[in-house]
Amino acid sequence: MSRIYTIKNKLVESRLFLNRIIAAFIVILLLTSGLVVRLVYLQIVGHEHYTTLAKDNSIKIEPLVPTRGIIYDRHGKVLADNTQSFSLELIPEQIIDLDDTLLRLQKLLDISDEKIDQFQKQRKRQKRFASTPLLMSMSDEEIAKFAVARPYFPGVDIQARLVRHYPYTDLASHVVGYVGRINEAEMKSLPIAEYRGSSHVGKIGIENTYETELHGKTGYAEIETNVQGRAINTVNSVPPVPGENLYLTLDIDLQKTAYDALDTFNGAVVAIEIKTGGVLVFTSRPGFDPNPFVIGISNDAYQALQTSDNQPLYNRALRGLYPPGSTLKPFIGLAGLEYNAISAEHKAFCPGYYQLPNVSHHYRDWKRGGHGSVNMTEAITQSCDVYFYSLALTLGIDRMHNFLHHFGFGEKSGIDLVGEKQGLLPSREWKRNRRNQAWYPGETLITGIGQGFLQVSPIQLARATATLANKGKVVTPFLVKKSAIPEDSLSPQEDLNLNPENINSIISAMINVIHDPHGTAKSIGKDIDYQIAGKTGTAQVFNIKQDAKYNENDINFKLRDHALFISFAPADDPKIAVAVIVENGGHGGSVAAPIAGKVIKQFLGSNHEN
Amino acid sequence: MKTETRSEQFHPPSVIGNILRKLHIDIPLFIGLFLISLLSFIILYSASSQDMDVLMRQAARVGLAFFLMTILAHVDPYQFKRYSALLFGLGLLLLVAVLILGQFGKGAQRWLDLGFFRFQPSEMIKITTPMMVAWYLAEHALPPKPKQLLIAGILIIIPTLLIAKQPDLGTSLLVASSGAGVLFFAGLSWRFILAITATLTGMTPILWHFMRTYQRDRVLTFLNPEADPLGRGYHIIQSKIAIGSGGIYGKGWLGSTQSELDFLPESSTDFIFAVFAEEFGLFGCVGLLVLYLLIISRCLYIASQAQDTYSRLLASSLAFTFFVYVFVNIGMVIGVLPVVGVPLPLISYGGTSIVTLLSGFGILMSIHTHKKFLPH
């Protein structure tokens, strides 16, 4: 029975299946007819419409490239703008023998092989009918030469384009940055629609951080063209929205003063307006000329920049990491007062070296023979190392780490530039995780005078100084003014709630650094009607052997100490905070402090006039 | 039966026919596939701006695919049935492997690098999913009971979701439809089909929620391509211009201005139909659709002649999936479906889909040429 049932079932199954095949076929026929109906609609009913769009008068959708926003300094001086420039451009599609044309152009205008290579690379990435530049920013002579020979070069023409221009060249290169040709990686990550027609994109600096604002919004025009592709009529267009103009907090004249003051040294100067956090000076010397990057820097020139000993492409103010040296002492001193680890009047005896209990090692003071008996003020004024060795040991690394962290050491300052380095504020935990080692007391000592593992960037140091000058209200540096927001409605600053008495005693010690006869930076305190508070620092680049005598002149220049200086002024109502780092500059007091002095005097001098 | 024997005696088969028969090749199907591949080269030559390199690379892939088809045609369909579950399991494992490896790589990862070539498990799944579902349903009496439906549903959803996660919406759609095809041919009740359709429509907002931004953009663009003419609507606008300007007779071979002038992006891959329509016009398009229909009809005929449930279900589902391929691609190019990454089968440039498609046809040929007893 069951077998019969199965057979019958098979028959039912077969019939069911055949029905389904027929049903499927009908569905397929119906859907295909649907496609045909749509095709008839497009190709017969809409034919004329689409033919107008495509064939005789094809509508091209042309992107309308917005002009890039201009970058100004705080007084409206132009840091980056767009200038007219003439370039020699080729349309590969219209050239019969491209190789021959290139060869003849090369002879005519003396074009380097490298430029030809660059052109070939770019050509392959572009459409055959797109105009591709071979020579950018042509000189008048080149334009004249080509103009005469033009009839012999079909498909080659001179085009006027807007090219980004940086009038201050190396002075602001590390702040403003530059734009360059969009490379393949960027082409993938950028929004295609917005960049159809744009050739450049911000690579570093403000140009990079504020790319979206500066670039603007691409518009488009539907252009009717004839058979030759010549535009005859604009059917419809959506105009581009030009990029926003940016106003920086930077003062380019002050920047120039700082840059010139660094003279032949490599180094960085950062100045912050304390009330707002606006960055007034952001100098990294040497800078570089960003203009060649815009038109495509030659390989040789780029290699030269890359391999130069002075590393001009290296943004020291943002990415340079240095031991803060003695500039850390005011912060350590303040930590001692805040934690009640020491009183301001407490005196310590400095014999010129410090010893940990039961350890023979001498932690030496910079002054052989020592400073004698000193209190906090004297220790900061004379930069006594032994006093701070002792204080560091009392505080311990945990409290130091905790306190310094509040001032932004070991974390990015948050300035609106890409690529900032975090620096390093060591802690027990860090050493265990990174080095798998316990923390040693000796390391606490040298951290107390800003040596050892500790690494800070100039912008961090300037920020910490501004926060100190601001009486513990944390300053966050920025470069671009948000023009819509009045300056007094800036985001509320985090307050560290420090004891005003403690701050005042540290500040008065820092005033003594400049205005006391024993001060390490007394040279800059003359001829001014206000007071500057500051602290010098000298950061060791290499370790001196125990008891070895050393003479600065004997040491290879590259191994000479870095000179540092932090300061703010006027001391009673601080307006500007300045951090200076001079690589291999030697002493902070004699090399770094005068640079800060020039910046402060110029800033406050012009402000007084206002 | 007697007439057939006689006809063989009076009209001895040609030499080529004889060889093809020994190769287990189904001649009508083979001719259809051959013609369409030929057409593919003709369009590709034009769509790629007469790039011989593209043609040579494609020729190598098509050759390999035809070779693989012949080999599969040789395999007894019983073997496919026997290894269905195993192959399906292997495919799933590879899919998971790709997903895990993808976690380490950047963005979408769809293939495994085997050194000498890149293997896409999702392609294999396109065939093993209908195999698995057909095998499972053939074990039971048809039409399937609710319990079997549930299990079959799970078997389809797992690979579909895994591929959708890659993310590859087009392929996951094809896998889902190949499984659904099996269910349909197995006799899923019409009422149930209606219910599922209604539920899916109701679930659209939920689906929307799970879609990635770019997938949502595609749907929005489909609904209103003119909203973003420089960006995402660009494809569809340009494709419609190309097709519409082709008219009834087309602009002739190599006469396409839209792809020549590079207005039409992806002209040799997903959007190749637009180039075809521009050059060969409505006549060409209808001709191409007829050619596709002939191939599909032959496949459905093969399915109807198949002798066991497994073969029927598998053959009919493969035929149906082939149609879905054609429909989805042409539908998106002419602007009636949203853009999903599905190539025009056997014509678009690109190797993996051709190898999978011809493998499917190999299985169909195997089913047709391995009959255990003669048809009545």
Split at pLDDT 50, 70, 90, the class of A35 is very high
Task: Say if B145 falls within a structural domain.
Answer: yes
Q: How far is A193 from chain B (nearest CA, A)?
A: 4
B314, B363 contact by CB (below 8 A): yes
Task: Say if B306 falls within a structural domain.
Answer: yes
Q: Return the minimum-mean-pLDDT range out of A15-24, A52-61, A412-421.
A: A52-61
Q: Which CATH superfamily is domain A252-609 in?
A: DD-peptidase/beta-lactamase superfamily (3.40.710.10)
pLDDT by residue (tens digit) across A186-233? 877 887 777 877 888 999 999 999 998 999 888 888 776 655 556 667
For testing contact with chain B, the best of A17, A22, A48, A222 (most B CBs within 10 A): A17
Residues facing A82 on adjacent strands: A164
Q: Catalytic annotation on A326? A: yes
Task: Say if B47 falls within a structural domain.
Answer: yes
pLDDT by residue (tens digit) across A272-331? 999 889 999 999 989 999 999 988 888 888 899 988 888 899 999 999 999 999 999 999
* pLDDT score at B143: 81
pLDDT by residue (tens digit) across B281-329? 999 999 999 999 999 999 999 999 998 899 999 999 999 999 999 999 9
A167, A294 contact by CB (below 8 A): no
* pLDDT score at B30: 93
Say whether A354 sits in a helix, a strand or coil. Answer: strand
Chain B residues near residue A36 by CB distance under 8 angstroms? 285-286, 289
What are the C-alpha distances in Å from A32 to residues B16, B175, B316? 34, 21, 18
CATH top-level class for A61-246? alpha beta
Chain B residues near residue A21 by CB distance under 8 angstroms? 185, 300, 303-304, 316
B236, B316 contact by CB (below 8 A): no
* pLDDT score at A529: 87
3-state SS of chain A: helix, strand, coil percent to 5? 45, 20, 35
Q: What is the mean pLDDT of residues A516-525?
A: 86
Q: What is the mean pLDDT of residues B186-199?
A: 88
Q: Percentage of chain A with pLDDT > 70? A: 90
Interface predicted TM-score of the whole assembly (ipTM), two decimals:
0.89
User: Between chains, do B304 and A32 touch, taking CB under 8 Å as contact?
Assistant: no
Residue A547 has pLDDT above 60, yes or no: no
Task: Say if B40 falls within a structural domain.
Answer: yes
Say whether A225 sits in a helix, a strand or coil. Answer: strand
Task: Say if B4 falls within a structural domain.
Answer: no
pLDDT by residue (tens digit) across A94-138? 788 888 888 888 888 888 888 888 888 877 766 666 778 888 888
Which residues, in sequence order, are CB contacts of B342 under 8 Å at separation 6+? B170, B171, B173, B174, B270, B325, B328, B329, B332
Chain A residues near residue B332 by CB distance under 8 angstroms? none
* pLDDT score at A69: 92
**A55 contacts chain B (CB < 8 A):** yes
* pLDDT score at B116: 53
Host domain of residue B131: 13-369
* pLDDT score at A86: 87
Residue B268 has pLDDT above 50, yes or no: yes
**Which among A317, A225, A326 is positioned nearest to A279, based on CA atoms?**
A317
Q: How far is B342 from chain A (nearest CA, A)?
A: 16
> What tokens does A518 get?
């024993």
pLDDT by residue (tens digit) across B31-51? 999 999 999 999 998 887 777
Q: What is the mean pLDDT of residues A340-351?
A: 88
Split at pLDDT 50, 70, 90, the class of A607 is low
Q: What is the mean pLDDT of residues A599-606?
A: 89
* pLDDT score at A609: 45
Domain count within chain B: 1
Where does A88-204 have alpha helices with state H? 98-109, 113-125, 140-149, 173-176, 184-189, 192-195
3-state secondary structure A527-586: CCCCCCEEEEEEECCCCCCCCCCCCHHHCCHHHCCEEEEEEEECCCCCCEEEEEEECCCC
Domain ranges, ordered by start, for chain A: 2-45, 61-246, 252-609
pLDDT by residue (tens digit) across A396-436? 999 999 999 999 999 999 898 988 999 999 999 999 998 88
Catalytic residue among A87, A131, A326, A505: A326
Q: Percentage of chain B with pLDDT > 70? A: 82
User: Between chains, do A39 and B293 touch, taking CB under 8 Å as contact?
Assistant: no
Split at pLDDT 50, 70, 90, the class of B258 is low
pLDDT by residue (tens digit) across B96-129? 888 887 665 444 566 666 655 667 888 889 999 9
Shortest CB distance from B327 goes to which of A31, A40, A47? A31
First to last CA, chain A: 113
A363, A385 contact by CB (below 8 A): yes
Task: Say if B122 falls within a structural domain.
Answer: yes
What are the C-alpha distances in Å from B121 to residues B88, B99, B132, B153, B166? 10, 10, 15, 20, 11
Split at pLDDT 50, 70, 90, the class of B2 is very low
> What tokens does B51 get?
């790039």
* pLDDT score at A191: 78
* pLDDT score at B9: 45
User: Between chains, do A13 and B309 touch, taking CB under 8 Å as contact?
Assistant: yes
Chain A residues near residue B300 by CB distance under 8 angstroms? 21, 24-25
| Average confidence score pLDDT of chain A | 85
pLDDT by residue (tens digit) across A140-186? 888 888 888 888 888 888 888 888 999 998 999 999 999 998 887 78
* pLDDT score at B312: 92
Where does chain B have alpha helices with state H? 2-10, 15-22, 27-47, 52-74, 77-104, 121-138, 146-164, 169-185, 190-202, 204-210, 213-223, 234-246, 257-260, 272-305, 309-333, 351-369
